[in-house]
Amino acid sequence: MYSYIRKSTIAAILLFLLVGCVENPNVTEEVYLENPNAMRSWVVGLKRQLAITTNTVNINTAIASDNYFNNYSQYSKVFDRLQIDYFDTDVNSLQVDIQELREMATYGIENVLPADISTTSEQEAYLHFSLAYANLLGGELFIGLPNSSLGTVESGENLLQNALNSFDDAIALETSDEMIKVYQLLKARAYYNLGDRDNAMSIASQLLDENILFQIDFDGKNGVSNEMQNATFDALPNRLAPLPRLDFLDPKYYSVGTPQTDQKPVAIAKVEEAYLILAEGQLAQSDLAGAKTTLSALIDVVENRPKAMVDDSRETRNGGNREDYPTDAVAVKFSNGDEFKQGYILNRQEESIPVHTVSGTNITKEDVINTASVDELLYLTYVLRQEIFISEGRRLTDLGIKFPISQIEQDNNPNVDDSYTIAQIPPFLSGETIDDFTVNENGDIIITEDLNKQIIDNKESSIVVPFF
């Protein structure tokens, strides 16, 4: 796997270096490193790989979670029922893209940096950020990953600790106050996933009221389009169908004119996370009043995020696998024992719909204030997490699901024993019902299971709700 990663990344960067020139087959890695401004092109390549990795993460985690159902022939057909096998090509693709990001960052630090004396501190900081983010994704999404090409396997916890160390390196080098805050917020996310309440809350509390939004850009003209945008808006039929109670948040990404020229960015860090981390920490300390204040302030932040009115009349919710997705503004129950609610499913045929391009929610301040217990407000916190982070690759971690190391890695790496080839799937989740629903005689929707209730009911499990 190492030789594949190294050769492909070098080839990718050389292509960037040779744009506008006659391609020279004699350009080698050594010649590349001797070129002036090698680091500049390397960082461009890292940004491209970060976009590729973001695509792979978003699509595969969306399908494996309750957020989306693959209602077409594209993408994985088994993740929807929580069949996550180590021999699945999608498991390997996800692992390869995360590891390629890590290897590119490592190569930049170890090889490009000493070769290019013109490297700026911001560029060096970006290398460490990329390494940190690769480890953050690895720690969140996999039960373990090799720490280097064909290296020993590190647990998810160790990968998150590695991420913290690299974020510190990035912060020490960065000169932009805006980017330092981004890296601090990502540190809080790593501490959160480690269950380190004190450190996560300490950082989060310092970032409230900051205008933090860091997004990954895509380029439809040069081959790295936003695949979640394609799957939920541009492609016909739309390939992914949202869980009906999340219908009002789909699509998050859309195009006006031609998709090639209008690719929307994807957020990987935004200040909303600081409020969510702080509120969950307060609830873990039984500070119900403090958590209500924090979540009320969060709702103000979400309400001030931009919205756009978008024509989504082409959407029929009929990709061919399941034809009973609602297309009218019907009511929905979050579970069989719940009450019907309006405003979650939109009629896209009548007029343009509001699109929440960064964050959206149907939770109100009144909902927050009226909660009477820690569990009630913790439930709303996880509803908020699901709604705010939709289409950003975050839901799977909240559900406690982790991917195994791929068969290809095990076949080539003697350090991977069989214990790493089994996915982590909580026993309280059923692949048969994770994103299932029924339709009553009035056309209203009843979600089979409310997984946020399942999360709260199992909050003392070691693999969900990190602060409890």
With 0-12 / 13-18 / 19 or more C-beta atoms within 10 angstroms meaning exposed / middle / buried, residue 205 is middle
Write down the H helix ranges in 195-340. Answer: 197-207, 227-229, 272-284, 288-303
In a domain, residue 467? The reply is: no
Q: Are strands 445-447 and 332-333 parallel, antiparallel or unpaired?
A: parallel
Give residue 360's domain range: 2-457
Secondary structure E strands in 357-458: 437-439, 445-447
Q: Number of structural domains, the chain?
A: 1
- Give the gyration radius of the chain's Cα atoms: 22
The string of pLDDT tens digits covering residues 126-150 is 999 999 999 999 999 999 999 998 9
3 state SS for 3-63: HHHHHHHHHHHHHHHCCCCCCCCCCCHHHHHHCCCHHHHHHHHHHHHHHHHHHHHHHHHHH
- Note whether residue 464 is domain-resident: no
For residue 249, which amino acid is it?
A: L
Length of the chain (residues):
468
pLDDT for the residue 22: 42
Q: State residue 12's pLDDT score.
A: 53
> What are the C-alpha distances in Å from 148 to residues 106, 133, 352?
9, 15, 49
Yes or no: say if 384 and 298 are a contact pair by the CB < 8 Å rule. Answer: yes
Domain assignment of residue 374, yes or no: yes
Query: Is 465 a domain residue?
Result: no
Q: What is the CATH number of the domain that holds 129?
A: 1.25.40
Confidence (pLDDT) at 413: 97
**pLDDT mean for each 10 residues of the chain (468 residues):** 48 50 58 88 95 98 97 91 97 97 97 96 98 98 95 98 98 98 99 98 98 96 93 92 98 94 97 99 98 98 98 89 92 96 94 96 98 98 98 98 98 97 96 94 97 98 97
Rounding to the nearest 10 degrees, give the CA dihedral for residues 240, 310, 270, 384: -60
Q: 219 forms bridges with which residues in the sheet?
A: 224
Long-range contacts of 70-73 (CB under 8 A, 24+ apart): 70/239, 70/240, 70/321, 71/237, 71/238, 71/239, 71/240, 71/241, 71/317, 71/318, 71/319, 71/320, 71/321, 71/322, 71/325, 72/237, 72/238, 72/239, 72/240, 72/319, 72/320, 72/321, 73/320
Quickly tell me which residue has 């301040």 as its tokens.
365
Instruction: Find residue 354's DSSP bridge partners.
Output: 309
Give the angle 222-223-229 at the CA atoms, nearest 5°.
Answer: 115
Q: What is the pLDDT of residue 18?
A: 47
Alpha helices in 108-221 (DSSP H): 113-115, 121-141, 156-173, 177-194, 197-207
Cα–Cα–Cα angle for 69, 219, 313, rounded to 5 degrees: 45
Separation CA 164–CA 153 (nearest Å)? 18
Per-residue pLDDT at 27: 59
Instruction: Return the SS3 of 159.
Output: helix
Is residue 463 situated within a structural domain? no
